[in-house]
Structure 1
Amino acid sequence: MTIDPWSFPDPEQDLPPAPPPAKAVLAGGCFWCTEAVYAELEGVLSLRPGYAGGTAETADYRTVCTGATDHAEVIEITYDPTRVSYGRLLKLFFSIAHDPTQKDRQGADIGRQYRSAIFYANAGERQVAEAYIRQIERDGLFDAPIETTLEPLTAFYEAEDYHHGYAARNPNQPYIRAVSTPKVEKLRKLLKGQAVRPG
């Protein structure tokens, strides 16, 4: 990934402000790491790691980790659209939370469950996501094609309790230190305290 998040553009198209709460479901590799990034953002009301894309019968960590299901590891973001827009959530998704040019993987995490995906709940979300991907590709922001898929959200299945807030509870775990912490630090520097959630 070659993009500089400091110069990453805002979406030219976005959803209009609406009364809270709203939800967004995004897949960007291991849900521990994407959750840690969005936990920093002002306007995010709550976060839940989980699974989307497959069936209820296969929505458990052990089965999803086989890579044989249609599930992706996702996070469900509950947010206040009057304080942070859907487009801004997507901006962080593409610029910091993960590498959208990797297909069915994120770094050493390999498998369909680690795919880059936006699970849209309605036509408006799909249109904004499609427009932003076109914008990113038009501006040549990455040196490889965007592999992010747009998939209808048919159901969200909450992950097991021990996955919730995993990065925050395990800051010294080697994987968290190597993968999650640098993303969080980059976001804090980028925002410079302007839109970070109070601790």
Structure 2
Amino acid sequence: MPLRRSLSALIAGLLLAQCAPAQAESIVRLPAAKIDPAVNAKRATAILAGGCFWGVEGVFSHVKGVISVESGYHGGSAATAKYELTHDGTSGHAEAVRIVYDPSQVSYGTLLRVLFSVIADPTLKNRQGPDVGPQYRAAIVPVDATQRRVATAYLAQIRSGRFFDKPVVVPIESYKRFYRAEAYHQDFMRRNPRHGYIVRWDAPKLAALRKLYPQLTNPTPAP
């Protein structure tokens, strides 16, 4: 969320939170991935985008098997991997997260299931929630051939299952380089639980994770 809009978003979020019970914008109980091979490693990395990285990081930090999550930028160059250059949508970057996880506890397919069940609406192009622009696009960024295979199959699976009223348009993007975001963006949801944007748009996503997939939820967030 652009910090230049933070005051207005805070006011709007607080008003919305007071007027009606907050709920996640898109909650869909999706099936487990049919193609999701085991990975023989103690650690693996996933890069995913699903709108403002505050909530994406915050929700994934509560998924069992996730070791760490960090907010950052993917898709553009090193020169434009800065918040003030990304928020206007011309940098090529998407707000994204880098997830380090234990494949013996949580699979890549499960991470995709969580992403599209409670975090991001895969039918939206270049927007999520109140945020509009290519920097807020949902995207899958496989880091190897196995992840690309799982991602391709899972998108086909949820398309054929007709879980959404509109076409699934989320892209699979080629990995370039992930750039860690500024320190004040890291762990933002945990550090600012009463922020208006978090209250309105992100806390409901975490609540949805706990409701839909309690077996996947870790009450203590990963760092």
SS state at 1:188 partner = helix
What is the identity, as a one-letter code, of the residue corresponding to 1:4? V
Equivalent residues in 2 for 1:143-154, closer than 5 Å: 143-154=165-176
Distance in 2 (CA, whole Å) between partners of 1:29 and 1:187 is: 17
Alignment partner of 1:135 out of 133, 157, 160:
157
Q: Give yes or no for the alignment of 1:46 onto 2:73.
A: no
Alignment partner of 1:62 out of 75, 80, 84:
84
What is the identity, as a one-letter code, of the residue corresponding to 1:33? G
Give the aligned partner of residue 4 of structure 1.
Answer: 28
- Given that 1:3 and 1:142 are in contact with CA atoms closer than 8 Å, whether structure 2 keeps it comes out as no
Distance in 1 (CA, whole Å) between partners of 2:119 and 2:219 is: 20
Per mean C-alpha deviation after superposition, the further-off stretch among 134-143 and 8-17 is 8-17
Q: Deviations over 1:71-119 (max 9, x none)?
A: 0000000000000000000000111111111100012100000011111
- Give the TM-score taking structure 1 as reference length: 0.95
Give the aligned partner of residue 218 of structure 2.
Answer: 197
C-alpha change, 1:41 and 1:131, in structure 2 (3 Å) is: same
Give the aligned partner of residue 106 of structure 1.
Answer: 128
- Give the TM-score taking structure 2 as reference length: 0.85
Runs of at least 5 residues in structure 1 that lack an aligned partner in the other structure: none
Alignment partner of 1:36 out of 58, 64, 82:
58
- Given that 2:128 and 2:136 are in contact with CA atoms closer than 8 Å, whether structure 1 keeps it comes out as yes
Runs of at least 5 residues in structure 2 that lack an aligned partner in the other structure: 1-24
Distance in 2 (CA, whole Å) between partners of 1:113 and 1:2 is: 19
SS state at 2:216 partner = coil
What is the identity, as a one-letter code, of the residue corresponding to 1:166? F
Alignment partner of 1:157 out of 179, 196, 221:
179
SS state at 1:152 partner = coil
Alignment partner of 2:189 out of 145, 167, 170:
167
Q: Give yes or no for the alignment of 1:16 onto 2:38.
A: yes
Q: Kindly report structure 1 stretches of 4+ aligned residues shifted beyond 4 Å.
A: none
- Given that 2:43 and 2:100 are in contact with CA atoms closer than 8 Å, whether structure 1 keeps it comes out as yes
Task: Compute the displacement of 1:190 (Å).
Answer: 2.0
